[in-house]
Amino acid sequence: MTLTGSLPTGGLAAVEAEIRRACREARRERTSVNLVAVSKTFEADAIQPVIDAGQRLFGENRVQEARGKWPALIAAQPGIELHLIGPLQSNKAKEAVALFDAIHSVDRPSLCDALAKEITAQQKRPQLFVQINTGEEPQKAGIAPGEADDFLARCRDHWGLGISGLMCIPPVDEAPAPHFALTAKIAARNGLTQLSMGMSADFAVAIQFGATHVRVGSAIFGHR
């Protein structure tokens, strides 16, 4: 184990080094990749050292859990940015728009209805990503690749939602690269510049395929 590996933020340092390596290899600027530190299931005392190490962008997958721990952390440290990366129930859209700076999981018309209403009511503009179910897995959220262009057009024309980019979670038992490539291709043909893809096991590959937001949990915080 390296020296940094024994520090509480050794995971963060190792992930940062790997992001830099992947950026060099892909001839991309380090600043073109946002590291979303996924703190789900971890308590404030595990998150604080990562904040102290300079990390400001965090991801949570449940509204309720985030509401319990983040308001105090945000109050104590200006400049924290919080992203919702997990599925969002329409009846939690109000809380989600109030708490999160970005929502990575826009995946169905009823949620678009709820988000459009809350964005107007709260005068907030969270960054929005449409989740693409690239593996067309029945148990997984997201828009099927073949329906993505229509859905994105409806987001714009019907709901007036400004979509920044796309998100995907490749099937666990498949090589991620084709899923990242497909997501990037759908984004490009729809004029979207942001790509939320890549987790602990595959964020370097995702950077190769153009990820602008890598969502990394266990490699930073340890096993859940």
Ligand X SMILES: *Cc1c(COP(=O)(O)O)cnc(C)c1O
- Residues contributing to the site for ligand X (CB under 6 A): 38, 40, 61, 85-86, 169, 199-200, 215-219
Shortest distance in whole angstroms from residue 121 CB to ligand X: 27
Shortest distance in whole angstroms from residue 60 CB to ligand X: 9
What are the C-alpha distances in Å from 156 to residues 40, 68, 107, 161?
A: 31, 33, 14, 5
What are the C-alpha distances in Å from 208 to residues 9, 22, 58, 85, 197?
A: 25, 7, 22, 21, 11
CA–CA separation, 224 vs 201, rounded Å? 14
Q: Tokens 């520090």 sit at which residue?
A: 7
Question: Toward ligand X, which CB reaches closer, 27 or 148?
Answer: 148
Question: Toward ligand X, which CB reaches closer, 59 or 145?
Answer: 59
**Cβ proximity of 107 and 132 under 8 Å:** no
Question: Toward ligand X, which CB reaches closer, 82 or 219?
Answer: 219
Shortest distance in whole angstroms from residue 43 CB to ligand X: 16
Which residues, other chains included, contact 221 with Cβ-Cβ below 8 Å and sequence gap of 6+? Answer: 11, 37, 38, 39, 42, 46, 47, 50
Q: Which residue is at the shortest CB distance from ligand X?
A: 217
Shortest distance in whole angstroms from residue 133 CB to ligand X: 12
Question: Toward ligand X, which CB reaches closer, 168 or 187?
Answer: 168
Question: Toward ligand X, which CB reaches closer, 4 or 200?
Answer: 200
Shortest distance in whole angstroms from residue 117 CB to ligand X: 24
CA–CA separation, 192 vs 184, rounded Å? 9
